[in-house]
Amino acid sequence: MSSRPLIQARGLTRWFGPVIALNDVQLSIQAPIVGLLGPNGAGKSTFIKLLVGLLKPSLGNLALLGQKPWANRDLAARLGYCPERHRFWEDMTARQFVQILLRLHGFDSSSACSTADSALERVHLGQVGRRRIKTLSHGMRQRLKLAQALAHQPEIIVLDEPLTGLDPIQRSMVISLLKEEAQRGVFVIVSSHVLHELEAMTRHIVMLNRGRVVAEGELEQIRALIDSHPHRIALVAAKARELGQQLLGQQHVTRIEVDKDRVVVETRNADECYDRIAELALGGDFHIEQMYSLDDNLEAVFKYLVEG
């Protein structure tokens, strides 16, 4: 058991000339899988490069499992990094690619061969190990990068947009693989600008926009913090119109939309609204068949935080 935060940032700032890529980031995260979410240019890749020690903070401090990543060989040996770009050493075979990177971790020649093979098998690339990288599809290259990040059994895996370019089957495979790693006790830090990708992997997210952290924590907790925005609840009921009328009388309800058998309620007090709906459901007058929140998904939360 460890009490050290996985990521701890204090006033973390990084600029490139006149451009501020990350601005005064304050974070303390402990979670098996952390999702970094933000639109392009939000500062995700910069944050990831700071985490893996490729960049030095301009200001502030950053610690990964209690250690500063910059120029830290011990920590680098415990990291597996999957960069966003994927056009390296195209004349090399997939197997050689993983092997050489294992050699850079200190594996000897024979163990690098066997470990590379098993890493390729894990990402379902065992059949293409002898093919040159330039002949591999985009999705295969993505999985190859993942293989090199996993191969040396790192303690922390940091992935920059690992699902870009994957078809749904490959995406599902990669998500399962990362979840599997997390269940083994490996920390996974993954970035994406696609909301549902992260949602499928983790509920613990860090949202970045224009170099700043706009929210951090469990998705539901973040949603609960957004008091200024009404919560939207959808109900499916046989007597939808009557149900809508009943709810409209509540003080916390700001808006009702009725469409055939579906009612969408906007409320400023979700708990009170849920209690009232429960009462109405128990009464049995409206035949409520389904109830679900329209705001607990990442997209809605992100929209609230970024667009206001």
Binding site for other proteins (CB under 8 A): 1-3, 5-6, 16, 28-32, 49, 52-56, 71, 73-74, 76-79, 81, 83, 85, 87-89, 91-92, 96, 100-101, 103-108, 111, 148, 152-153, 155, 183-187, 204, 217-218, 221
Per the CB < 8 A criterion, the answer to whether 6 and 65 are in contact is yes
User: Cα(59)–Cα(88) distance, rounded to whole angstroms?
Assistant: 31
User: Cα(224)–Cα(4) distance, rounded to whole angstroms?
Assistant: 26
Q: Which is nearer to other proteins, 81 or 286 (CB)?
A: 81
Q: Which is nearer to other proteins, 70 or 274 (CB)?
A: 70
Coil/strand/helix, residue 58: coil
CB-based contacts of 187, cutoff 8 Å, min separation 6: 6, 32, 33, 34, 65, 155, 156, 157
CB-based contacts of 61, cutoff 8 Å, min separation 6: 8, 9, 10, 11, 12, 68
Residue 93 β-bridge partners: 132
Per the CB < 8 A criterion, the answer to whether 214 and 207 are in contact is yes
User: What backbone phi and psi angles, to 5 degrees, belong to 260?
Assistant: 55, -115
What's the closest the beta carbon of residue 131 comes to other proteins, in angstroms? 14
Tokens of 262: 């579906």
What's the closest the beta carbon of residue 276 comes to other proteins, in angstroms? 30
User: Cα(228)–Cα(306) distance, rounded to whole angstroms?
Assistant: 13
Query: How large is the greatest C-alpha to C-alpha distance in the chain, in angstroms?
Result: 74
What's the closest the beta carbon of residue 112 comes to other proteins, in angstroms? 9
What's the closest the beta carbon of residue 299 comes to other proteins, in angstroms? 22
User: Cα(95)–Cα(105) distance, rounded to whole angstroms?
Assistant: 16
What's the closest the beta carbon of residue 185 comes to other proteins, in angstroms? 3
Coil/strand/helix, residue 111: helix
Q: Which amino acid is at 17?
A: G
Q: Which is nearer to other proteins, 14 or 193 (CB)?
A: 14
What's the closest the beta carbon of residue 161 comes to other proteins, in angstroms? 13
Q: Which is nearer to other proteins, 181 or 199 (CB)?
A: 181
Q: Which is nearer to other proteins, 187 or 304 (CB)?
A: 187
What's the closest the beta carbon of residue 52 comes to other proteins, in angstroms? 5
Per the CB < 8 A criterion, the answer to whether 198 and 222 are in contact is no
Q: Which is nearer to other proteins, 46 or 246 (CB)?
A: 46
What's the closest the beta carbon of residue 136 comes to other proteins, in angstroms? 15
User: Cα(277)–Cα(291) distance, rounded to whole angstroms?
Assistant: 9
